[in-house]
Structure 1
Amino acid sequence: MRRSASLQSLLFYGLGGPIVALNVWLLSVLFRYFQNPITILSFAAILAFLLNYPVKLFERAKISRTLAVIIVLLVTLTLFVIVGVTLVPLLIDQTIQLLNKIPDWLSASQDNFIQLEAFAKQRRLPIDLRVLTSQINASIQNLVQQLASGAVGLAGTLLSGLLNLILVVVLAFYMLLYGDRVWYGLINLLPSKFRIPFTKALQLNFQNFFLSQLLLGLFMTVVLTPIFLILKVPFALLFAILIGISELIPFIGAALGIGTVVILVLLQNWWLAVQVAIATIFMQQIKDNLLAPKLLGNFIGLNPIWIFVSILMGYEIAGLLGTLVAVPIAGTIKGTFDVLKSGNSGDFMSTFTIHQDTEN
């Protein structure tokens, strides 16, 4: 019996790794093949998850779900139009200016390296920056070529993005109206013991995770914008929004956003870069230690190592979209199995009612 049990364990763990690797590879291939529709459906589902909160508030006020969805959709579209008319053109203009400035900043940083090397030679210090300066020259040439080629397709990219945004909003509208019926049909494909734990874990992780990340990112954007303006940071609004958007990627997003901004500012003014680093890290600590625990809590309950692993696997499978959904997916899997082990499906609180369609 012991030999049989040990043999089964050996087969389970021995075959588990290759099967997981094969599934990851298969998912990455499927995503690359159906990348655009999967991306649109995913963002529409995320938007529907987020808009379900205000829809529920209207339903509590004795408003029918259809009317509540229409009201929320009209308000959302109004906000999108206001942002598109006021903020988007400003961001596009600042982005174009930044891309035009980067070659000049790289050239200035190259001059600084040359001066540093001359200073080191005067002090007889063994520093040779010729390799670094040659790499900077190559980077400048590649950047200029990419800017020249990318500017040609900018209008097409903006048009494609606008069409995709319209599709996302329309799909989110239909998901809010009829998503429960579709979800009920899909969830019935799972074994009965998985249905309720999986549904509640998915709701808890996706709704709470993305709502919390959006609020944290908005906090960083709103707080850093006036700070950058006071410090006279170039492209203050663009840099603050970049850091805010990076907050959507958990665990490593904030470091990537802050690091990118600090490096860009460093190319122009090292002392200003130090001030930017201090200000952003200080606000990041306030967010992480005061706001994030209240918003996020421990509803995911994942070890930081597994968070990092899930982000890497998500990026390998689906790129940026994979990094955004990797943590809530991992939290959903963990939450489902935790509930199944405990045998108490009431550990989760559902915010979206799944009901059977009785019209048929």
Structure 2
Amino acid sequence: MRFRWDKKYLYWGVTAFCVIAASIVFFLILSKISAIKGFFGIILKVIKPVLYGLLFAYLMNPLVKTFERPILVQWGEKIYGKDSRKSRSFARCIAILLALVLVLLIVIGLLWLVLPRLYESIQTLVTNLPLYFDRMRSTVEEIFKANQDVEDYVLGLFDNLSQTLSSFLSGDLVNELKTVLVSITSSVYAVVMEIVYIAIGFIVAVYILTSKERFAAQTKKVLYSIFDVQHATDIIEEAHEVNEIFIGFVSGKILDSLIIGVICYISLNIIQMPYKELVSVIVGVTNVIPFFGPFIGAVPSAFLILLVDPFKCLIFVIYILILQQIDGNIIGPKILGQNTGLSSFWVICAILVGGGLFGFAGMLFGVPVFAVIYRSVKRAVEHSLKKKDVPVKTSDFLKIAYLDPVTGEPVSLETVAREKEQKKAEEQKKEQTKIQRKKNTK
């Protein structure tokens, strides 16, 4: 008997083999997850300077663009002539140098302004903490003096908290600091290497910025060699839009936080708030986080002021609420605009999910990453709807109950409501007819 080859059995055999092989590979990955994480950790450590360089180049690129054009017109073209490669190269080098100097000056200036004041604020807080607790105790006694049981309970909690903090600051903190110092001493090599990686990252960033057009051209060349023309063009256009979202959001948020920090410092100086430097830094830094940032920064700041003066704490809370409204409705929209295209609901979801998965970095970059995903899904949905000749705008679906399965035409909510009313009226009429017939029969 001659064996007859059936392609169907070959298809099922190959499918079964692929499923079994994939299951084995997946099991091996799970069983060796620690080794895999270690391997990728080594890879990440090796390429860390390059990653730093890409990040620095990406953040410095807007500054380089800002400086490059005036330098090209004012100096480059006068020295080397118009449309000269040397003039463009000269302008690019000067622009990169100015961007580097500006970034370093900003970082050094902020550290020089903030660190001494920050140290003084923390030192004052630690020194005067027992005095603050005595004041708080007196305030609590004054508030709850009419109810002795509540007063005793609250004061008991206060005494426990005071003793815990005092013992921590006097003994435990010293021991912890010793442990931390030992740990830092043993990790000096790691800290030095991180500084070296950052320094190399700046060097890599300079090379990337110097030849960014060439790198972009090589990337396009690779894309067009792998994909067909239409898909490669779509990828390039999508990359441009992603870049606009990210750079607009990150640079805008940094500028917004800097403005809020400065406004907060000036305002707290005017109203004579304690720890104004420390509080301004906390509010400015946490403001980088969208939506929740001002509230995250306000909680520890309000607690610090509460220890000194409860009334000023109340003023500070009211001030932060006003500042947050000004930032959310005036300053933020003017700087950031609507570059993410996300509603408040999706912004909250992006922050919660990003923060839960990746911590502070996830809270910061969760919004632009989610905005990119949202735009991609939106385009895919709209493309599918256009192919089916169905309305694309969300506003069109607000008035539509469903699409007719036969004609494909939209059926409005008013039509559905009217049909339900007619059906209800017909049922009532039938019920009345039945009742009338029963009466006539009797």
When the two structures are superposed, what TM-score results if normalisation uses the length of structure 1? Answer: 0.71
Q: Deviations over 1:63-94 (max 9, x none)?
A: 66654443333223323443455441342223
The within-5 A match list for 1:20-59 is: 33=41, 44-58=53-67
Preserved contact between residue 315 and residue 323 of structure 1 (Cα < 8 Å): yes
- 1:170 corresponds in structure 2 to 203
Match 1:82 to one of 79, 82, 105: 105
CA–CA distance in structure 1, aligned partners of residues 343 and 282 of structure 2 = 27
Other-structure match for 2:157: 131
Q: CA, structure 1 residues 334+42, in 2 after alignment: closer, same or farther (shift >3 Å)?
A: farther
Tell me the alpha carbon deviations over residues 257-280 of structure 1, each in whole angstroms, 9 at most, x when there is no partner: 233222222222223323333333
Structure 1 distance, partners of 2:340, 2:146, is 55
Q: 1:283 & 1:57 partners in 2: Cα distance?
A: 31
Aligned letter for 2:259?
F
Match of 1:242 in 2: 282
Match of 1:99 among 119, 122, 128: 122
Deviates more, 1:296-305 or 1:181-190: 181-190
For 2:97 and 2:267, locate their aligned partners in 1 and report how far apart those are by CA, in whole Å.
33
Q: Would the aligned equivalents of 2:355 and 2:363 in 1 still touch at CA under 8 Å?
A: yes
Question: Aligned-pair distance for 1:332?
Answer: 1.2
| TM-score where L is the length of structure 2 | 0.59
Q: Which residue of 1 aligns with 2:301?
A: 261
Could you say what secondary structure the match of 2:340 adopts? coil
In 2 relative to 1, CA 203–132 (structure 1 residues): closer, same or farther, beyond 3 Å? same
Amino acid paired to 1:227: S
Looking at structure 2, the residues matched to 119 and 54 of structure 1 have their Cα atoms a distance apart, in angstroms, of 57
Q: How far apart are residue 206 of structure 1 and its match?
A: 0.5
Deviation, structure 1 residue 203: 0.9
Distance 1:273 1:203, change over 3 A: same
1:206 pairs, out of 246, 249, 271, with 246
Q: Note the 1:346-357 alignment, pairs <5 A.
A: none
Tell whether the 8 Å contact from 1:110 to 1:136 is kept in structure 2 after alignment: yes
CA distance in 2, matches of 1:243, 1:82: 22
Aligned partner of 2:95 in structure 1 is 72
- Do the aligned residues in 2 keep the contact of 1:51 with 1:72 (CA within 8 Å)? no
Conserved in 2, the CA contact under 8 Å of 1:44 and 1:171?
Answer: yes
Change (3 A) 1:37 1:141: farther
Residue ranges of structure 1 left out of the alignment (5+ in a row):
1-25, 344-360
Q: Equivalents in 2 of 1:74, 1:284: separation in Å?
A: 37
Moved more, 144-153 or 310-319: 144-153
Distance 2:355 2:45 in 1: 16
Q: Work out the CA distance in 1 between the residues paired with 2:279 and 2:325.
A: 18
Change in CA separation of 1:107 and 1:65 when aligned onto 2, cut-off 3 Å: farther
Deviations along 1:317-342, one digit per CA (max 9) or x if unpaired, are 33322222111111111122323444
Does the Cα contact within 8 Å between 1:46 and 1:206 map onto a contact in 2? no
2:134 equivalent in structure 1: 111
Q: CA deviation at 1:315?
A: 2.8
Tell me which of 258, 264, 267 is aligned to 1:224.
264
Q: CA RMSD in A?
A: 4.0
CA offset digits 1:44-78 (Å, max 9, x no partner) = 54543343223334555556665444333322332
The range that moved more, 216-225 or 189-198, is 189-198
Q: 2-side partners of 1:38 and 1:271: how far apart?
A: 53
> Aligned-pair distance for 1:235?
4.0
Identity %: 21
Secondary structure, counterpart of 1:302 in structure 2: coil
Q: Higher relative CO (CA 8 A, sep ≥ 6), structure 1 or 2?
A: 1
CA apart distance, 1:199: 0.7
1:16 counterpart residue number: none
Letter in 1 for 2:250: F
- Alignment partner of 1:290: what SS? helix
Once residues 108 and 32 of structure 1 are traced to their aligned partners in structure 2, the CA distance between those partners, rounded to angstroms, is 51
Is 1:233 aligned to 2:273, yes or no?
Answer: yes
Residues 69 and 113 (structure 1), Cα distance of their counterparts in 2 relative to 1, 3 Å cut: same
- Counterpart residue identity of residue 330, structure 2: L
Q: How many residues of Structure 1 are paired with residues of Structure 2 in the alignment?
A: 319
Whether the aligned pair in 2 keeps the contact of 1:205 and 1:299 (CA below 8 Å) is yes
Deviations, residues 169-215 of structure 1 (Å, cap 9, x unaligned):
33433343345357558867789376135313311210110121022
Q: 1:164 to 1:286 in 2, by over 3 A?
A: farther
Tell whether the 8 Å contact from 1:197 to 1:336 is kept in structure 2 after alignment: no
Aligned pairs (5 A) from 1:179-218: 180=216, 184=220, 192=231, 195-218=235-258
1:12 — aligned with what? none
Q: Find the partner of 1:333 among 361, 373, 387.
A: 373
Aligned partner letter, 1:169: F
1:168 CA displacement: 4.2
